[in-house]
Chain A
Amino acid sequence: MSTLHTVNKSPFERSNLQACLGHAQNGDSVLLIEDAVFAAIAGNTFAPKLADAAQDIKLFVLGPDLKARGMDPAKVVDGVNIIDYEGFVDLAAASSTIHSWL
């Protein structure tokens, strides 16, 4: 079974997301929440790393956290899926392990 990784820190301030992407296995899911959602917006310097990771890992971003921060859902990097709280629960239920990169 696969792991759901959650990251809640901005990639511009902490290395949590970088570390998470470096350790996640093929088929794992990575969900960006809280201040990690900034990584998902196209045109930022971290976005290419996400696009690379999307080849082997399923990437998600929490919609309510995007909306709170004024981030346009239309500008989310290709390959990153926007989910709501229900989607978060479904994702957690479908994963054997949850790894929070705090």
Chain B
Amino acid sequence: MEDDFEAGTVKKFMFVNRKPPYGTVYALEVLEMVLISAAFDQDVHIAFLDDGIYQIKKGQDTKDLGMKNFSPTYRALEGYDIEKLFVERECLEERGLSEDDLLVPVEVISRAEMGKLMAEMDVVLTA
């Protein structure tokens, strides 16, 4: 794999978010990893499924918790040329949410389609 990077091969990367924000540090850590990955000019995909969907829920306000609200940073991804964001439809439905509840433009796909997309990737990182 290192040789490929040296040769400038572009790989398909997918970061899979399955955890909600704030309760644990996973969501923020993945977001930082995504931002850093942008420097390597790879083909980056981000998937939100299960509770990961809550990361991009509109209207987050953490003032009372004394924690940083990092949800606006997902809107910066476009400026980093990371525009392939996918959300699993079944997961939205299970949580009583719809695409309008999300703070960034995403492509909503089915669980079956998500599985296929994952299979097309060279590297998948899930947290």
Contact = CB atoms under 8 A, between A and B. Distances in A.
Contacts of B69: 68
B58 A12 contact: no
Contact of B22 (A9, A12, A68, A72): A68
A27 interface: no
Nearest to A35: B23
Contact of A35 (B51, B60, B67): B51
Given A34-B22, A38-B54, A69-B54, A12 B62 contact: no
B31 to A, nearest CB: 16
Interface stretch (A18-26, A39-47, A90-98): A39-47
Contact of B96 (A10, A34, A42): A42
A68 B51 contact: no
A63 to B, nearest CB: 8
Query: Size class of B's contact patch?
Result: 20 to 34
B62 A68 contact: yes
B23 A8 contact: yes
30 contacts: A10-B23, A10-B51, A12-B50, A13-B18, A13-B19, A13-B50, A13-B51, A34-B22, A34-B23, A35-B22, A35-B24, A38-B20, A38-B54, A43-B96, A44-B95, A63-B64, A64-B64, A64-B65, A67-B61, A67-B64, A68-B22, A68-B61, A68-B62, A68-B64, A69-B21, A69-B54, A70-B60, A70-B61, A72-B59, A75-B96
A82 interface: no
B42 to A, nearest CB: 29
